[in-house]
């Protein structure tokens, strides 16, 4: 297709943008024809496989418009993308949200979330949240998105009483969150406010605490502080600023249709919202795997030697160093780093050991694979070593052929080809990968050191004769405690994220666990574990509820352990405590359930191994009167 040249047409947006628009249209045009061809043949799955990577990488409104049309067409034909989690999202907003909802549906599908949406009538925020039998209440959402705009704020252009104005708005949103939280077992997600791009006071506005600009900035900060770990915030101001405020808002759309953002803004807002939801339901990536030559440094270490590679000095060297520091910052927030490189192991390790300009050191990597096998084999080994699913991994590699090999052999692994100059690596990573955590718990911060401890423990395992010797040598101490306010978040996070050692795969929000814990005959426990190498923090959850038909039977509704403590007998410690607590509440039987999922085969025979008796239909019973369930290798600490 021939494109119009800028000289032929009245330009909008300005000239420097039109080149980008034109090239992206070319890409969109190619994808459009391919997608439509596949849809005509009824091959929706193939069409989606073609669209999905572009959606994750690109915020091009033409591709997103195409994806929205595709989703509507395919859904009408009964097709739905395969998803790993479900979210029931209620939307409370004060504007025309049809297009936003369409885009959020597409974004959620791209992240693996099956989305059900209830859009409350617009402007009915308080009514829907407070109404006894409102549509919102009947919908029973897992998440409520509160999406106002700056136009909803009662801020004058210059306030006499800035503190009072901000406090009044904080109270308004805070009480809406409280009303939702207290009446529904739901997670609240709030869109932050966009600081207006017009300023009648010019740059003076920054020096005056009462200007609308200052008030909106202050409100965002205060809402962030109020939200804490319970309410999820989407920093809409930052997304709008990244795109550019003038492109974010199309005033014409606001006046004609009450839509507060442009079509160009919709993909990034939808994607950010979906990424925050994905993080909350445990779909965020867990481990970043990096290549070495021309990814972490310039040049080939096998040829230039550990001192000859480009790192630290010069334009390229500084860019590589900055990229290493960014990766370190990701590690500090709890992501794991690993290396997969086609190199000789000794040569690959040398720069980390001998080049003082390197920011990353060997101890920062939870796995380090350098040999001559295909990348996919290296990555499979890393997944195995770390006990992670392939869908939790991202590969960064400057060689697109390696990325393609991995994408074809292990399609669950996300791959990011770093084919651009190193100065653009950080932006590329930020644009491609949506690394949203719902909360940074102490456990996240200690997790990386805990994985390192696991490697030491694994090494130790080889030196001791038997598993019981190994367990004893670890000198493990456990703390089983009732779930309480400060452990709710972590307990919920574990139910969301744990796929392997998880008997029932029941996912819960903190609010749902809080409600369960308040029931007099339920038992909700967390376990904290430490050994001679590390504090692992809270690594397991067990919940028992009364059987509706046999009130003296306690059903183990949830039993799970983080993968870093599998094979340590922690489940036995946890179950022994659960049994004691059940006896204390007058139960005479503990009933275990195993629900098979894609990755929990590991625990399919847990209950029979612990001498629970087969009661049929995936149920296993333990008679509490004659129970011999004890924990031999873990000492309960005070």
Q: Provide the binding-site residues for another protein, judged by CB under 8 A.
A: 1-4, 6, 8-13, 18, 21-22, 25, 29, 32, 36, 39-40, 61-62, 65-66, 69, 73, 98-99, 252-253, 256-257, 259, 263-264
Residue 563 near residue 596 (C-beta atoms within 8 A): no
- CB nearer to another protein: give 1 or 346: 1
* Region for 515 from its dihedrals, namely left if φ exceeds 0, alpha if ψ lies in -120 to 50, beta otherwise: alpha
Between strands 336-342 and 287-290, the pairing is parallel
- CB nearer to another protein: give 6 or 421: 6
Give the separation between CA 155 and CA 162, rounded to whole angstroms. 9
Give the separation between CA 502 and CA 531, rounded to whole angstroms. 22
Residue 310 near residue 298 (C-beta atoms within 8 A): yes
- CB nearer to another protein: give 13 or 411: 13
Residue in the structure block whose two tokens are 């052999």? 409
13: tokens are 């947006």
- CB nearer to another protein: give 262 or 502: 262
Element (H, E) at 318: helix 314-332
| CB 199 to another protein: min, Å | 25
| CB 1 to another protein: min, Å | 6
| CB 195 to another protein: min, Å | 25
277: tokens are 């939801």
161: tokens are 């009483």
- CB nearer to another protein: give 6 or 468: 6
Residue in the structure block whose two tokens are 């452990």? 487
Tell me if the bond preceding 13 is cis, omega within 30° of 0: yes
| CB 251 to another protein: min, Å | 11
- CB nearer to another protein: give 1 or 518: 1
Give the DSSP letter of residue 610. T
- CB nearer to another protein: give 50 or 114: 50
- CB nearer to another protein: give 256 or 419: 256
Give the separation between CA 108 and CA 85, rounded to whole angstroms. 10
| CB 76 to another protein: min, Å | 10
Q: In the chain, count of helices (H) and strands (E)?
A: 24, 18
Give the separation between CA 426 and CA 536, rounded to whole angstroms. 31
46: tokens are 């193939």
Give the separation between CA 260 and CA 570, rounded to whole angstroms. 52
| CB 77 to another protein: min, Å | 11
Give the separation between CA 489 and CA 232, rounded to whole angstroms. 12
- CB nearer to another protein: give 250 or 293: 250
Give the DSSP letter of residue 121. P
Instruction: Give the CA dihedral 470, 472, 476, 477, nearest 10 degrees.
Output: 160
- CB nearer to another protein: give 17 or 547: 17
| CB 119 to another protein: min, Å | 13
| CB 222 to another protein: min, Å | 35
| CB 65 to another protein: min, Å | 6
Residue 560 near residue 494 (C-beta atoms within 8 A): yes
| CB 95 to another protein: min, Å | 13
Is residue 621 exposed (0-12), middle (13-18) or buried (19+ Cβ within 10 Å)? middle
- CB nearer to another protein: give 61 or 417: 61
DSSP assignment of 55-80 equals: HHH---HHHHHHHHHHHHHHHHTT--
- CB nearer to another protein: give 70 or 323: 70
| CB 175 to another protein: min, Å | 33
Element (H, E) at 630: none
Q: Which of 486, 484, 555 is nearest to 517 (CA)?
A: 484
| CB 10 to another protein: min, Å | 5
């Amino acid at each position: 297709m021939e494109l119009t040249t800028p000289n032929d047409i009245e330009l909008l947006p300005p000239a420097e943008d039109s080149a980008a628009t034109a090239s992206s249209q070319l890409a969109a045009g190619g994808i459009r024809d391919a997608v439509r061809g596949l849809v005509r043949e009824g091959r929706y799955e193939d069409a989606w496989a073609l669209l999905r990577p572009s959606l994750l990488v690109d915020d091009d409104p033409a591709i997103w418009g195409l994806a929205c049309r595709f989703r509507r067409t395919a859904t009408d034909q009964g097709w739905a993308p395969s998803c790993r989690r479900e979210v029931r999202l209620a939307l409370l907003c004060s504007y025309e949200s049809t297009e936003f909802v369409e885009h959020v549906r597409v974004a959620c599908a791209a992240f693996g979330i099956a989305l059900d949406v209830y859009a409350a009538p617009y402007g009915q925020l308080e009514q829907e949240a407070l109404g006894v039998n409102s549509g919102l209440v009947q919908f029973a959402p897992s998440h409520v998105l509160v999406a106002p705009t700056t136009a909803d704020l009662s801020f004058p252009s210059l306030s006499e009483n800035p503190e009072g104005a901000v406090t009044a708005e904080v109270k308004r949103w805070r009480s809406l969150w409280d009303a939702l939280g207290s009446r529904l077992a739901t997670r609240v997600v709030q869109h932050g406010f966009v600081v207006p791009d017009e300023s009648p006071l010019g740059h003076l506005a920054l020096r005056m605490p009462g200007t609308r600009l200052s008030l909106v900035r202050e409100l965002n900060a205060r809402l962030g502080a109020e939200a804490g770990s319970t309410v999820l915030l989407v920093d809409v101001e930052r997304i709008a600023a990244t795109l550019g405020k003038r492109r974010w808002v199309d005033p014409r759309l606001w006046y004609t249709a009450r839509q507060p953002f442009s079509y160009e803004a919709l993909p990034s807002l939808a994607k950010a919202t979906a990424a925050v939801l994905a993080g909350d339901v445990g779909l965020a990536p867990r481990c970043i795997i990096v290549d070495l030559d021309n990814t972490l440094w310039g040049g080939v270490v096998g040829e230039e030697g550990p001192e000859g590679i480009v790192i630290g000095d010069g334009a390229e060297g500084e860019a590589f160093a900055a990229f290493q520091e960014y990766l370190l910052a990701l590690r500090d927030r709890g992501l794991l780093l690993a290396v997969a490189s086609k190199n000789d192991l000794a040569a690959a390790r040398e720069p980390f050991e001998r080049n003082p300009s390197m920011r990353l050191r060997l101890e920062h990597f939870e796995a380090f694979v350098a040999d001559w096998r295909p990348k996919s084999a290296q990555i499979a080994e890393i997944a195995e070593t770390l006990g992670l699913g392939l869908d939790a991994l991202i590969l960064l590699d400057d060689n697109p052929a390696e990325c393609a090999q991995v994408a074809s052999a292990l399609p669950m692994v996300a791959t990011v080809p770093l084919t651009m100059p190193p100065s653009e690596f950080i932006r590329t990573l930020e644009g491609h990968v949506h690394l949203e955590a719902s909360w940074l718990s102490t456990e996240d911060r200690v997790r990386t050191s805990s994985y390192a401890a696991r490697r030491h423990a694994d090494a130790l395992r080889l030196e001791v004769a038997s598993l019981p010797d190994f367990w004893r040598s670890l000198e493990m101490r456990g703390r089983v405690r009732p779930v309480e306010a400060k452990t709710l978040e972590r307990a919920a996070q574990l139910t969301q994220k744990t796929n392997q050692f998880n008997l029932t795969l029941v996912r819960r929000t903190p609010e749902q666990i809080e409600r369960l814990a308040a029931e007099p005959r339920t038992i909700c426990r967390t376990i904290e574990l430490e050994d001679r190498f590390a504090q692992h923090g809270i690594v397991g959850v067990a919940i028992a509820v009364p059987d509706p038909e046999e009130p003296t039977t306690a059903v183990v509704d949830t039993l799970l352990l983080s993968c870093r403590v599998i094979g340590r007998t922690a489940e036995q410690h946890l179950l022994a405590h659960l049994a004691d607590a059940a006896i204390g509440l007058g139960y005479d039987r503990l009933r275990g359930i195993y629900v098979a999922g894609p990755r929990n085969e590991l625990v399919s025979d847990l209950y029979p191994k612990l001498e629970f008796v087969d009661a049929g239909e995936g149920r296993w019973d333990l008679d509490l009167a004659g129970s011999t369930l004890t924990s031999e290798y873990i000492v309960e600490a005070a």
